[in-house]
Structure 1
Amino acid sequence: MTLFIDQVTKKYQDFVAVDNLSFTIEKGAIFGLIGQNGAGKTTTFRMILDLQETTEGNITWNGTHINSINRDVLGYLPEERGIFPSMTVEDQLYFFGELRGQQKKKLKKEVDYWIDRFELEDKRKAKAETLSKGNQQKVQLIASFIHKPEFLILDEPFSGLDPVNMDLLKNAILELRDNGTTILFSSHQMDNVEELCDHLCLLKRGVSLFTGSLLDLKKQYGKTKLTIRTEIPKEVLERLEGVKEIHVGKDQYTLTLINESYAQSIFDFVSNGKYIEKFSLDYLSLEEIFKDKVGGTHV
């Protein structure tokens, strides 16, 4: 089961929301679609869901045009949340499952499992309007996949969640993937994208700046992030050859290098043949790369 987006463009009169976009998502993958607000992410989601037509190009699922597939194979968590305030958690999940063609009797196992999995057992009979924002988010998330979709779109799924609930969600996403669900999601929290996704598409004003594996994106920049712990003053370090800039942390420095070839000479200088407590060379984080590519600044 593969999602194939082939040279897709979406225009609203003279405004181009998505411009000649192409990418492929293989079965069981977690794929990230990232970009600033207005980059075209939600428009792309709506075209995949056939809520909007493409102006040009094609979208297919397992070789079938997206407007000809059974809609029940899709699941969607929109950024704009929408659950029924006066309906209980349990009834809400049964309602959305039945809406997607599932029988209530067959839904019971899934409803019970996910209510327990998301620590909502004591809220089972509670109305949605009485829940915290985080618990409402969990209910709507479960509702998006209670019918076991083959393909699931999650638009900003981590919004409003505390760190504990965020971990619950991450583990649920990985479990869904391991059970064969293909997942496409967007998030402004780049650490979550970096943790969950092997492949991604980076959008800016509807245009793909990069589509491919996260590792390939990082390799474009090389290992230029050097973290060291030393008593050598910043003023001395910033004069070393190959150092672009230095960030001073609580007990360490983070140096951005012109390229990784300068790391050896910096190591030799800092260590001077002695033990050095910390010297770590790594790729830039996805957030740093995102700011560089999308923000137009140089990291």
Structure 2
Amino acid sequence: MMKLGEGPIAGNAQAESPLDGLGRPLAIEARGLVKRFDGFTAVGGVDLSVPEGSIYGVLGPNGAGKTTTLRMLLGIIDPDEGLRRVLGHDRPHEVAHAIGYLPEERGLYPAMKAYEAIAFLGSLRGLPLAEGRRRGKALLEEHGLGYAIDRQIRQLSKGMAQQVQLLGTLVHDPRLVVFDEPFSGLDALNQGKLEKMIRGLAARGTTVIFSTHVIAHAERLCDEVAIIAGGKVPFAGKVDAARDRIRPQVRLETRSQDGPWRAAIPADARREGSLWLFSLPDSGIEPLLRALIEGEAGIQSLSIERAGLHDAFVAIAGEAAARALDEDKPEETAR
């Protein structure tokens, strides 16, 4: 049975990739990408560096410029300004055979059988049809869809058709996979399967970049993210670096209600019932603990909670972008 990651298509040469500031080879490098439509700036100066073998998320609300950015990176549309490099090539079309792309707008020929649809998508990337048919059948079996091999696309549920298109994105064993809102329309079970597949691809050295407006997917999967809002990228880097933009939060419960220990708590601490909530002081936890103990606060509980990616998104992109992100969620669930 053919496994994803079996090897590239014969004859696909690999160009030398550029390096980032840490000496890591880059699958994608973009500098100052700008795209305008009828005088409207959809993307206004995007910089991205995607290390090879990483899982990289482009996170932002619908309409933020995610799809336009991905399409510029892939050469589907050209930027009005800026430079891009994909797998070491300035012209993305030169390495189309090494890229898998799943667009947000799904589309398969309804009369095609499932394995033929996979083979057809592979052929668009240079995979011979006969090999594509063999791999298509094997992939359907591998992913629990063997019963659908000979079914026409029109006979499949929407979720099954999306899985077929996903397998067609991967059948030619690309070095770089680009997913645009890949979780859209999938139920919780198939979202979990897709997350597992993405992790498996990265474990084999494939670079995965995907756009999403659901923070949970990015937080669970991504090594690095680009936060995009209003066509600009106010942050791009490690997920942990984004979260570190906000100080860890302390939750403290004491038996004593007052005493000299209160001076150790920041003046902007807020009270919720028996709890004190405040940001961890610059001096760290040890001086705080010492003051609480020596001041006989009677510590009932104390926890330090690191900021989540959602809080980081709010701090970096602003309240308006965060509200737009949250407003997208009901639509996502309804699809």
TM > 0.5 fold call:
yes
Structure 2 residue aligned with 1:285, among 302, 308, 311?
Answer: 308
Partner of 1:86: 111
RMSD: 3.3
Give 1:195 deviation, angstroms: 1.1
Structure 2 CA distance, aligned partners of 1:244 and 1:38?
37
Task: Return the alpha-carbon distance in structure 1 between the equivalents of residues 153 and 271 of structure 2.
Answer: 48
Aligned equivalent of 2:193: 168
Determine whether 1:222 maps to 2:247.
Answer: yes
Do the aligned partners of residues 227 and 172 (structure 1) sit closer, same or farther apart at CA in structure 2, a change above 3 Å counting?
Answer: farther
| Structure 1 segment 185-224 matched on structure 2, within 5 A | 185-224=210-249
8 Å contact kept, 2:253–2:299: no
Query: Partners in 2 of 1:216 and 1:20 — Cα distance?
Result: 22
Which deviates more, 160-169 or 113-122?
A: 113-122
Q: Deviations over 1:191-212 (max 9, x none)?
A: 1111111111111111111011
Which residue of the partner structure matches residue 30 of structure 2? 5
The SS at the match of 1:212 is strand
TM-superposed CA distance for 1:44, in Å, is 0.7
Normalised by the length of structure 1, the TM-score is 0.82
In structure 2, give the amino acid aligned to 1:123.
Answer: A
1:36 — aligned with what?
Answer: 61
1:296 maps to which residue?
A: 319
Alignment partner for residue 20 of structure 1, among 41, 45, 50? Answer: 45
Q: Does 1:110 align with 2:131?
A: no
> Displacement, 1:14?
2.5
For 2:309 and 2:183, the matched residues in 1 are separated by: 17
Structure-2-length-normalised TM-score = 0.74
Q: Secondary structure at the match of 1:221?
A: coil
The alignment status of 1:257 with 2:247, answered yes or no, reads: no
Match of 1:177 in 2: 202
What percent of counterpart residues are identical? 28
Mapped to 1, the partners of 2:299 and 2:74 lie a distance apart of 60
Give how far 1:295 is off: 4.2
Q: Unaligned 5+ residue runs, structure 2?
A: 1-16, 18-26, 257-264, 324-335
Deviations 1:165-212 (A, max 9, x none): 111111111111122221110112211111111111111111111011
Secondary structure of the structure 2 residue equivalent to 1:69:
helix
* Mapping for residues 79-158 of structure 1, pairs under 5 Å: 79-108=104-133, 110-158=135-183
In the alignment of these two chains, the number of paired residues is 285
Name which one, 1 or 2, has greater alpha-carbon Rg.
2
The question of whether the paired residues in 2 share the 8 Å contact of 1:118 and 1:168 is answered with: no
Q: CA deviation at 1:98?
A: 2.0
Residue 160 of structure 1 aligns to a residue whose secondary structure is: coil
Contact 2:33/2:83, CA 8 A, preserved across alignment = yes
Cα displacement string for residues 226-266 of structure 1 (whole angstroms, at most 9, x for unaligned residues): 5679999xxxxxxx756666889xxx98x86344569746x
Partner amino acid, structure 1, of 2:100: G
Q: What is the one-letter code of the residue matched to 2:161? A: Q
Contact 1:242 1:259 in 2 (8 A): no
- State the 1:117 CA deviation: 3.6
